[in-house]
Amino acid sequence: MLILSENDLRSVLNYKNVLKALESGFVAYKRKGKFPLRTAIESEEYKSTVLFMPSSFSDKSGVKIVSLCENNFSKGLPYTRGAYLLLSLVDGSPLCMMDGSYLTYVRTAAISLLASKYLANKNPKTLGIIGAGKIGTMATEAHLSYFGIEKIYAFDKFDSSMNSFTKRLNTNSSTDIVMCKEGNEAVSNSDILITATTSYKPVFNSRFIKEGTHVNGIGSYKKSMQEIPEGLIVRAKIFVDTLEGATSEPGDIVIPLEEGLIIKDNICEISEVILKGFTRNQSDITFFKSVGFSLEDIITAELAYNESKKRGIGLEVDF
């Protein structure tokens, strides 16, 4: 079995190859795979949730175990951590165990880029980011790698996150970074807005959203978490990674559904957009909710495994 560390994954995965793999995966997944809804175990004692995300795709199966730990920030540890196990569906052999934290960051950043590619107005010049942690930073990098972004408006409630965000992006990019004093400042200036927080309440006021904005909501993954105000949800055309996950898990969608502010029939899966296209009016507000989908993990894990085997990367162990 091959073992892949974060550094190994960094050397074989980039936003371009993950984006391409995800696009093909979303086109084929209903024919080629099985993706049961994930199982969550919550610990009130440790303020953490563990998600078990199994799937099969083509001739592989796999499972990600990812933990989301609220107390980690104060300990200087990552909020999102995990491991991924990839197996052969043909003979059951375990093929690869890899770092599930980096896998999650890169595939989540790439899925937000995929949504922006299909849903945002052409040639976006400004990007807003609320929640400049691990995933927010990588989602920003992913957008910089694809669009000609001239200015980033960033807001995080902690200075430490803002500092690491600006340090990391400054080394890679000449794009201007405006450090905002509040979330609404990032919202009102952005062609594309990304929210990637751990917040339990909406992180901006919907009246600040200008017409034509595309919003990627990455953060909330359970009903008690809500980053996006209902005022935006009722104005936007809504897209999700999967209808099953998005309408049963994150507060961003579940709360307005339960309040009768939106209906399920008006929510579209991103795979439909990739297959059939989507023509937006310049003034449309579009919203993509990424709650996390096991397809994104198995596609990215298989890409990492194949590339690593080709290039002799990673550590082989007998199992």
Ligand X SMILES: NC(=O)c1ccc[n+]([C@@H]2O[C@H](COP(=O)([O-])OP(=O)(O)OC[C@H]3O[C@@H](n4cnc5c(N)ncnc54)[C@H](O)[C@@H]3O)[C@@H](O)[C@H]2O)c1
Binding site residues, ligand X, CB under 6 A: 68, 73, 78-80, 104, 108, 130-136, 155-158, 161, 183, 196-199, 203, 218-219, 221, 290-292
Q: Shortest Cβ contact with ligand X: which residue?
A: 133
Spatial contact of 300 and 22, defined as CB atoms under 8 Å apart: yes
Q: How far is the CB of 25 from ligand X (least distance, A)?
A: 14
Q: DSSP per residue over 41-99, as a string?
A: EEETTTTEEEEEEEEEETTEEEEEEEEEEGGGGGGT--SEEEEEEEEETTT--EEEEEE
Helix (H, G, I), strand (E, B) or coil at 196: coil
Cβ neighbours of 109 (radius 10 Å) = 28
| Three-class DSSP category at 198 | coil
Nearest to 272 by CA among 232, 241, 302, 307: 241
Quick one: 95 or 299, whose CB is closer to ligand X? Answer: 299
At a CB cut-off of 8 Å and minimum separation 6, what does 174 contact?
Answer: none
Q: Give the angle subtended at the CA of 218 by the CAs of 156 and 67, to the nearest 5°.
A: 90
Rounded least distance, CB 115 to ligand X, Å: 11
> 11 vs 49, which CB is nearer to ligand X?
49
Name the minimum Å distance from CB 128 to ligand X. Answer: 12
What is the smallest separation between the CB atom of 73 and ligand X, expressed in angstroms?
5
Q: Minimum distance from CB of 75 to ligand X (Å)? A: 12
Sign of CA dihedral 132, 134, 139, 142: positive
Q: 249 Cβ partners below 8 Å, 6+ apart?
A: 221, 222, 223, 291
Give min distance, CB of 226 to ligand X, in A.
11
Pick 33 or 219: Cβ nearer ligand X = 219
Supply the minimum distance, in Å, between the C-beta of residue 35 and ligand X: 14
Q: What span, in angstroms and rounded, lies between the C-alpha atoms of 14 and 8?
A: 12
Nearer to ligand X, 198 or 286 (CB): 198
User: By C-alpha distance, which of 297, 307, 313 is closest to 25?
Assistant: 297
Amino acid at 77: L
The residue count for the chain: 319
Shortest spacing between CB 297 and ligand X, in angstroms: 9
Cβ proximity to ligand X: between 220 and 308 the closer is 220
Compare residues 100 and 314 and give the one whose CB is closer to ligand X: 100
Question: Nearer Cβ to ligand X, position 2 or 69?
Answer: 69
Question: Nearer to ligand X by C-beta: 2 or 165?
Answer: 165
Whether residue 53 contacts residue 297, with contact meaning beta carbons closer than 8 Å, is answered with yes
